[in-house]
Amino acid sequence: MKITVVGGGNVGATCAHILVSKNLTNELVLVDIVEGMPMGKALDMYESTPIEGNDTKVVGANGYDETAGSDIVVITAGLARKPGMTREQLQETNAQIVKEVTQQVAPRSPNAILIVVSNPLDVMTYVAWKVSGFPRERVMGMAGILDTARYRTFLSMALGVSVKDIQALVLGGHGDSMVPLVSYTTVSGVPITHFLDKPTLDAIVKRTRDGGIEIVNFLKTGSAYYAPASAAVEMVEAIVKDKKRILPCAVYLQGEYGMSDTFSGVPIKLGKKGVEQIIQVPLTPEEKAAFEKSAGEVKANIAKLAI
Protein backbone atom coordinates (compact mmCIF):
# COMPACT_ATOMS: atom_id res chain seq x y z
CA MET A 1 0.00 0.00 0.00
CA LYS A 2 1.33 3.38 -1.03
CA ILE A 3 -0.48 6.59 -0.14
CA THR A 4 0.27 10.11 -1.33
CA VAL A 5 -0.95 13.24 0.43
CA VAL A 6 -0.71 16.36 -1.72
CA GLY A 7 -0.56 19.57 0.30
CA GLY A 8 1.59 19.47 3.41
CA GLY A 9 -0.28 22.24 5.23
CA ASN A 10 -2.55 21.88 8.23
CA VAL A 11 -4.93 19.22 6.90
CA GLY A 12 -2.36 17.38 4.76
CA ALA A 13 0.33 17.10 7.42
CA THR A 14 -2.16 16.15 10.14
CA CYS A 15 -3.72 13.54 7.86
CA ALA A 16 -0.27 12.14 6.99
CA HIS A 17 0.64 11.97 10.66
CA ILE A 18 -2.54 10.06 11.57
CA LEU A 19 -2.01 7.67 8.62
CA VAL A 20 1.52 6.95 9.82
CA SER A 21 0.54 6.53 13.46
CA LYS A 22 -2.32 4.20 12.50
CA ASN A 23 0.10 2.12 10.43
CA LEU A 24 -2.26 2.22 7.45
CA THR A 25 0.40 2.20 4.74
CA ASN A 26 3.91 0.91 4.00
CA GLU A 27 4.87 4.06 2.19
CA LEU A 28 3.57 7.60 2.53
CA VAL A 29 4.58 10.45 0.23
CA LEU A 30 3.87 14.05 1.27
CA VAL A 31 4.00 16.61 -1.56
CA ASP A 32 3.91 20.40 -1.35
CA ILE A 33 5.20 23.27 -3.48
CA VAL A 34 6.88 25.02 -0.54
CA GLU A 35 10.57 24.23 -0.94
CA GLY A 36 11.87 21.78 1.64
CA MET A 37 8.72 21.84 3.81
CA PRO A 38 7.33 18.41 2.86
CA MET A 39 10.80 16.87 3.19
CA GLY A 40 11.16 18.34 6.67
CA LYS A 41 7.72 17.24 7.83
CA ALA A 42 8.11 13.79 6.27
CA LEU A 43 11.52 13.19 7.87
CA ASP A 44 10.17 14.33 11.23
CA MET A 45 7.24 11.88 10.89
CA TYR A 46 9.59 9.10 9.73
CA GLU A 47 11.66 9.68 12.87
CA SER A 48 8.54 9.18 15.01
CA THR A 49 8.10 5.62 13.68
CA PRO A 50 10.70 3.89 15.90
CA ILE A 51 8.98 5.42 18.93
CA GLU A 52 5.47 4.63 17.74
CA GLY A 53 6.49 1.18 16.52
CA ASN A 54 5.28 1.74 12.94
CA ASP A 55 6.76 0.52 9.69
CA THR A 56 5.83 3.36 7.37
CA LYS A 57 8.46 4.81 5.10
CA VAL A 58 7.68 8.54 4.92
CA VAL A 59 8.96 10.55 1.96
CA GLY A 60 8.62 14.29 1.32
CA ALA A 61 8.80 15.81 -2.15
CA ASN A 62 8.38 19.04 -4.09
CA GLY A 63 7.62 17.04 -7.24
CA TYR A 64 5.56 14.04 -8.25
CA ASP A 65 7.97 11.31 -9.39
CA GLU A 66 8.07 9.95 -5.85
CA THR A 67 4.27 9.50 -5.93
CA ALA A 68 4.29 7.00 -8.83
CA GLY A 69 2.25 3.87 -8.26
CA SER A 70 0.19 5.23 -5.36
CA ASP A 71 -2.95 3.31 -4.41
CA ILE A 72 -4.63 6.29 -2.80
CA VAL A 73 -3.98 10.02 -3.29
CA VAL A 74 -5.44 12.54 -0.84
CA ILE A 75 -5.55 16.05 -2.32
CA THR A 76 -5.48 18.83 0.27
CA ALA A 77 -3.57 21.43 -1.76
CA GLY A 78 -5.06 24.88 -1.99
CA LEU A 79 -5.96 27.99 -0.08
CA ALA A 80 -7.98 27.79 3.14
CA ARG A 81 -10.59 30.30 4.30
CA LYS A 82 -9.92 33.31 6.47
CA PRO A 83 -12.61 35.14 8.52
CA GLY A 84 -15.28 36.69 6.29
CA MET A 85 -14.63 34.34 3.38
CA THR A 86 -16.99 31.78 1.88
CA ARG A 87 -15.69 28.47 0.52
CA GLU A 88 -16.90 29.54 -2.91
CA GLN A 89 -14.48 32.48 -2.91
CA LEU A 90 -11.65 29.94 -3.08
CA GLN A 91 -13.02 28.38 -6.25
CA GLU A 92 -11.00 30.11 -8.97
CA THR A 93 -7.60 29.75 -7.32
CA ASN A 94 -8.12 26.27 -5.95
CA ALA A 95 -9.56 24.94 -9.23
CA GLN A 96 -6.25 25.77 -10.93
CA ILE A 97 -4.29 24.16 -8.09
CA VAL A 98 -6.41 20.99 -8.04
CA LYS A 99 -6.23 20.81 -11.83
CA GLU A 100 -2.41 21.05 -11.81
CA VAL A 101 -2.11 18.53 -8.99
CA THR A 102 -4.41 16.04 -10.75
CA GLN A 103 -2.51 16.43 -14.03
CA GLN A 104 0.65 15.45 -12.17
CA VAL A 105 -0.83 12.67 -10.06
CA ALA A 106 -3.14 10.81 -12.46
CA PRO A 107 -0.64 9.64 -15.12
CA ARG A 108 1.83 8.49 -12.45
CA SER A 109 -0.80 6.57 -10.47
CA PRO A 110 -3.39 5.55 -13.07
CA ASN A 111 -5.07 3.04 -10.76
CA ALA A 112 -5.26 5.25 -7.69
CA ILE A 113 -8.34 6.25 -5.75
CA LEU A 114 -8.48 10.04 -5.35
CA ILE A 115 -9.85 11.60 -2.18
CA VAL A 116 -10.27 15.35 -2.54
CA VAL A 117 -10.31 17.64 0.51
CA SER A 118 -9.64 21.09 -1.01
CA ASN A 119 -12.49 23.62 -1.01
CA PRO A 120 -15.03 24.33 -2.34
CA LEU A 121 -15.14 20.59 -1.87
CA ASP A 122 -17.78 19.33 -4.27
CA VAL A 123 -16.55 21.52 -7.15
CA MET A 124 -12.90 20.57 -6.54
CA THR A 125 -13.84 16.87 -6.57
CA TYR A 126 -15.51 17.45 -9.93
CA VAL A 127 -12.27 19.07 -11.18
CA ALA A 128 -10.20 16.06 -10.07
CA TRP A 129 -12.69 13.64 -11.66
CA LYS A 130 -12.82 15.56 -14.94
CA VAL A 131 -9.07 16.15 -15.24
CA SER A 132 -8.03 12.63 -14.18
CA GLY A 133 -10.46 10.87 -16.52
CA PHE A 134 -10.83 8.25 -13.77
CA PRO A 135 -14.13 6.35 -13.38
CA ARG A 136 -16.47 7.84 -10.82
CA GLU A 137 -15.88 4.92 -8.45
CA ARG A 138 -12.32 6.17 -7.89
CA VAL A 139 -12.85 9.89 -7.28
CA MET A 140 -14.57 11.16 -4.15
CA GLY A 141 -14.59 14.11 -1.81
CA MET A 142 -14.37 14.31 1.96
CA ALA A 143 -16.93 16.56 3.67
CA GLY A 144 -19.97 14.61 4.82
CA ILE A 145 -18.00 12.70 7.44
CA LEU A 146 -16.71 15.97 8.89
CA ASP A 147 -20.10 17.69 8.78
CA THR A 148 -21.72 14.64 10.37
CA ALA A 149 -19.01 14.51 13.05
CA ARG A 150 -19.69 18.16 13.90
CA TYR A 151 -23.43 17.49 14.09
CA ARG A 152 -22.85 14.42 16.29
CA THR A 153 -20.53 16.38 18.57
CA PHE A 154 -23.07 19.17 19.07
CA LEU A 155 -25.84 16.64 19.74
CA SER A 156 -23.64 14.83 22.24
CA MET A 157 -22.93 18.13 24.02
CA ALA A 158 -26.67 18.91 24.21
CA LEU A 159 -27.65 15.43 25.41
CA GLY A 160 -24.73 14.60 27.68
CA VAL A 161 -24.34 11.18 26.04
CA SER A 162 -21.42 9.54 24.26
CA VAL A 163 -20.77 10.72 20.71
CA LYS A 164 -20.48 7.02 19.86
CA ASP A 165 -24.19 6.48 20.42
CA ILE A 166 -25.32 9.21 18.06
CA GLN A 167 -25.97 8.09 14.49
CA ALA A 168 -26.58 10.73 11.89
CA LEU A 169 -26.15 11.73 8.26
CA VAL A 170 -25.39 15.10 6.73
CA LEU A 171 -25.93 15.20 2.96
CA GLY A 172 -25.69 17.75 0.16
CA GLY A 173 -22.88 20.08 -0.78
CA HIS A 174 -20.20 21.11 1.73
CA GLY A 175 -21.54 24.64 2.07
CA ASP A 176 -23.92 26.70 4.12
CA SER A 177 -26.85 24.81 2.59
CA MET A 178 -25.68 21.33 3.64
CA VAL A 179 -28.51 19.09 4.86
CA PRO A 180 -28.28 17.46 8.31
CA LEU A 181 -31.00 14.77 8.14
CA VAL A 182 -32.96 15.05 11.37
CA SER A 183 -35.25 12.20 10.26
CA TYR A 184 -32.25 9.81 10.25
CA THR A 185 -30.70 11.03 13.50
CA THR A 186 -30.94 8.58 16.37
CA VAL A 187 -29.45 7.93 19.77
CA SER A 188 -28.74 4.20 19.74
CA GLY A 189 -31.67 3.73 17.40
CA VAL A 190 -34.13 6.01 19.26
CA PRO A 191 -35.23 9.00 17.12
CA ILE A 192 -33.54 12.24 18.18
CA THR A 193 -36.95 13.97 18.34
CA HIS A 194 -37.62 11.85 21.44
CA PHE A 195 -34.82 13.71 23.23
CA LEU A 196 -34.73 17.25 21.84
CA ASP A 197 -37.42 19.76 20.91
CA LYS A 198 -37.56 21.47 17.51
CA PRO A 199 -35.98 24.81 18.51
CA THR A 200 -32.98 23.00 20.07
CA LEU A 201 -32.59 20.77 17.02
CA ASP A 202 -32.90 23.75 14.66
CA ALA A 203 -30.14 25.54 16.58
CA ILE A 204 -27.88 22.46 16.35
CA VAL A 205 -28.55 22.13 12.62
CA LYS A 206 -27.60 25.79 12.18
CA ARG A 207 -24.43 25.41 14.25
CA THR A 208 -23.49 22.38 12.10
CA ARG A 209 -23.95 24.39 8.91
CA ASP A 210 -21.78 27.15 10.39
CA GLY A 211 -19.30 24.65 11.90
CA GLY A 212 -16.48 25.57 9.55
CA ILE A 213 -16.69 29.33 10.01
CA GLU A 214 -16.96 28.96 13.81
CA ILE A 215 -13.43 27.52 13.79
CA VAL A 216 -12.14 29.99 11.18
CA ASN A 217 -13.30 32.85 13.41
CA PHE A 218 -11.33 31.44 16.33
CA LEU A 219 -8.18 30.63 14.36
CA LYS A 220 -8.25 33.76 12.15
CA THR A 221 -5.35 32.59 9.98
CA GLY A 222 -6.81 29.38 8.57
CA SER A 223 -9.51 26.75 8.93
CA ALA A 224 -10.17 23.53 10.84
CA TYR A 225 -7.80 20.63 10.39
CA TYR A 226 -7.88 18.05 13.19
CA ALA A 227 -11.42 16.80 12.50
CA PRO A 228 -11.02 17.18 8.70
CA ALA A 229 -7.82 15.10 8.80
CA SER A 230 -9.51 12.40 10.93
CA ALA A 231 -12.39 12.34 8.45
CA ALA A 232 -10.07 11.87 5.46
CA VAL A 233 -8.27 9.08 7.33
CA GLU A 234 -11.59 7.34 8.00
CA MET A 235 -12.12 7.18 4.24
CA VAL A 236 -8.58 5.92 3.62
CA GLU A 237 -8.99 3.26 6.29
CA ALA A 238 -12.30 2.06 4.80
CA ILE A 239 -10.51 1.58 1.46
CA VAL A 240 -7.26 0.08 2.79
CA LYS A 241 -9.09 -2.43 4.99
CA ASP A 242 -11.95 -2.96 2.50
CA LYS A 243 -14.34 -2.21 5.35
CA LYS A 244 -17.49 -1.58 3.29
CA ARG A 245 -18.31 1.37 5.55
CA ILE A 246 -21.48 3.34 4.90
CA LEU A 247 -20.29 6.94 4.96
CA PRO A 248 -21.47 10.24 3.50
CA CYS A 249 -18.98 11.23 0.79
CA ALA A 250 -19.09 13.56 -2.21
CA VAL A 251 -19.54 11.45 -5.34
CA TYR A 252 -20.49 11.94 -8.97
CA LEU A 253 -24.25 11.61 -9.37
CA GLN A 254 -25.77 10.13 -12.50
CA GLY A 255 -29.46 10.31 -11.76
CA GLU A 256 -29.23 9.37 -8.08
CA TYR A 257 -31.27 11.71 -5.87
CA GLY A 258 -32.61 13.26 -9.07
CA MET A 259 -29.27 14.96 -9.85
CA SER A 260 -26.82 14.32 -12.65
CA ASP A 261 -23.42 15.52 -13.85
CA THR A 262 -22.56 16.96 -10.47
CA PHE A 263 -20.92 16.00 -7.18
CA SER A 264 -22.76 15.97 -3.90
CA GLY A 265 -22.53 14.34 -0.50
CA VAL A 266 -24.61 11.15 -0.26
CA PRO A 267 -24.23 7.87 1.67
CA ILE A 268 -21.99 5.39 -0.11
CA LYS A 269 -20.51 1.98 0.55
CA LEU A 270 -16.76 2.50 0.70
CA GLY A 271 -14.35 -0.39 0.19
CA LYS A 272 -11.19 -1.33 -1.66
CA LYS A 273 -12.71 -0.55 -5.07
CA GLY A 274 -13.70 2.94 -3.91
CA VAL A 275 -17.36 3.89 -4.29
CA GLU A 276 -18.94 0.42 -4.30
CA GLN A 277 -22.56 1.59 -4.03
CA ILE A 278 -24.51 4.82 -3.81
CA ILE A 279 -27.26 4.42 -1.26
CA GLN A 280 -30.48 6.27 -1.95
CA VAL A 281 -32.50 6.93 1.17
CA PRO A 282 -36.04 8.32 1.09
CA LEU A 283 -36.14 11.97 2.19
CA THR A 284 -38.98 14.00 3.68
CA PRO A 285 -40.30 16.66 1.26
CA GLU A 286 -38.44 19.33 3.28
CA GLU A 287 -35.16 17.40 3.20
CA LYS A 288 -35.58 16.65 -0.50
CA ALA A 289 -36.06 20.34 -1.28
CA ALA A 290 -33.05 21.27 0.87
CA PHE A 291 -30.90 18.61 -0.83
CA GLU A 292 -31.92 19.80 -4.30
CA LYS A 293 -31.14 23.41 -3.35
CA SER A 294 -27.71 22.44 -2.02
CA ALA A 295 -26.80 20.15 -4.93
CA GLY A 296 -28.16 22.75 -7.35
CA GLU A 297 -25.81 25.39 -5.93
CA VAL A 298 -22.84 23.06 -6.50
CA LYS A 299 -23.96 22.43 -10.06
CA ALA A 300 -24.22 26.17 -10.73
CA ASN A 301 -20.67 26.64 -9.41
CA ILE A 302 -19.38 23.78 -11.57
CA ALA A 303 -20.84 25.63 -14.57
CA LYS A 304 -18.63 28.63 -13.71
CA LEU A 305 -15.42 26.57 -13.89
CA ALA A 306 -12.87 27.53 -16.48
CA ILE A 307 -10.72 24.40 -16.53
Find the binder of ligand TXD among 1, 27, 33, 296 (CB under 6 A). 33
Give the active site residue among 174, 209, 245, 299.
174
The answer to whether residue 208 forms part of the interface with ligand TXD (CB under 6 A) is: no
The most distant pair of C-alpha atoms in the chain lies apart, rounded to whole Å, by 55
| Of 12, 60, 180, 267, the one binding ligand TXD by CB under 6 A | 12
Nearest to 100 by CA among 132, 58, 145, 60: 132
Our finding on whether 10 is near ligand TXD (CB under 6 A) is yes
Which residues within the stretch 101-120 sit at the binding site for ligand TXD (CB under 6 A)?
Answer: 101, 117-119
DSSP 48-97: THHHHT---EEEEESSSGGGTT-SEEEE--S----TT--GGGGHHHHHHH
State the number of binding residues for ligand TXD (CB under 6 A).
Answer: 35
Choice from 17, 25, 32, 155 touching ligand TXD (CB under 6 A):
32
Binding mask 148-187 for ligand TXD (x = CB under 6 A): --------------------------x-------------
Residue 210 is a binding residue for ligand TXD (CB under 6 A): no
Question: Which is it for strands 27-31 and 57-61: parallel, antiparallel or unpaired?
Answer: parallel
Question: Could you say which residues in the range 53-112 bind ligand TXD, by CB under 6 A?
Answer: 76-81, 90, 94, 97, 100-101
- CB 50, min distance to ligand TXD, A: 27
Beta strands in the chain (DSSP E): 2-6, 27-31, 57-61, 72-75, 113-116, 139-141, 166-167, 170-171, 179-180, 186-187, 190-191, 245-254, 260-271, 274-278
E runs forming strands in 211-287 = 245-254, 260-271, 274-278
> Is 174 designated active site?
yes
The verdict on whether omega for the bond into residue 135 sits within 30 degrees of 0, i.e. cis, is no
Enumerate binding residues for ligand TXD (CB under 6 A): 6-12, 31-34, 76-81, 90, 94, 97, 100-101, 117-119, 121, 142-143, 146, 174, 222-225, 228
Active site residue ranges: 174
